[in-house]
Amino acid sequence: MKDKITTLKNLLFIIMVIGFASGCNGNQNEFIQGNSTFGISQVHTSKPIDQSVANHAKEKIIAKEDITDVKAVNTDKELMAAIKVENFDRFRLKSIEKSVKSDLEKKYPDYKVFVSTDKKIFWELEKVEQRLKKMI
């Protein structure tokens, strides 16, 4: 009986080690594909992606009085924007984010639009914008 329990424990331990090892080996350089999460990626293409949609979106967003700063990038099918608001307006983050997203979806119906007020996403989009500027 003890041999079966010891064997079962060893088997369970091996399965856990394999599970943890394979879980830590995911795609860490994934950007945005479908409904996957936002991850850092190395931006490298042979030709730069036209960022005119993102630039026009930034102009439209920054015109709103609640928004103090905006970063945006686009692919051929997606548009991602991160916004900063005044401290007092932070109480209305969700409504501001929803308003901006609906405006962008109306203006760019062919794009899947992502809008965020998260500071980390804002910083990451700023890095992506800088990399895109270096490509030009």
- Over residues 68-127, the pLDDT tens digits come to 999 999 988 999 999 998 877 777 888 889 999 999 999 999 999 999 999 999 999 999
SS3 89: helix
Higher pLDDT, 36 or 70: 70
Residue type at position 9 = K
Report the pLDDT value the prediction gives residue 127, as an integer from 0 to 100: 92
Q: Give the model's confidence band at 42: pLDDT under 50 very low, under 70 low, under 90 confident, else very high.
A: very low
Q: Answer yes or no: are the C-beta atoms of 57 and 35 closer than 8 Å.
A: no
Q: Which residues contact 42 (CB under 8 A, 6 or more apart)?
A: 29
Question: How does the average pLDDT of the chain come out, rounded?
Answer: 78
Report the pLDDT value the prediction gives residue 37, as an integer from 0 to 100: 44
Tell which CATH architecture fits domain 39-135: 2-Layer Sandwich (3.30)
- Residue 68: name the closest of 51, 35, 93, 48 by CA: 93
Q: Give the model's confidence band at 65: pLDDT under 50 very low, under 70 low, under 90 confident, else very high.
A: confident
Supply the pTM of this predicted model.
0.61
Q: Which residue has the tokens 């088997």?
A: 11
The CA distance from 9 to 38, in Å, is 37
The CA distance from 77 to 69, in Å, is 24
Q: Answer yes or no: are the C-beta atoms of 117 and 93 closer than 8 Å.
A: yes
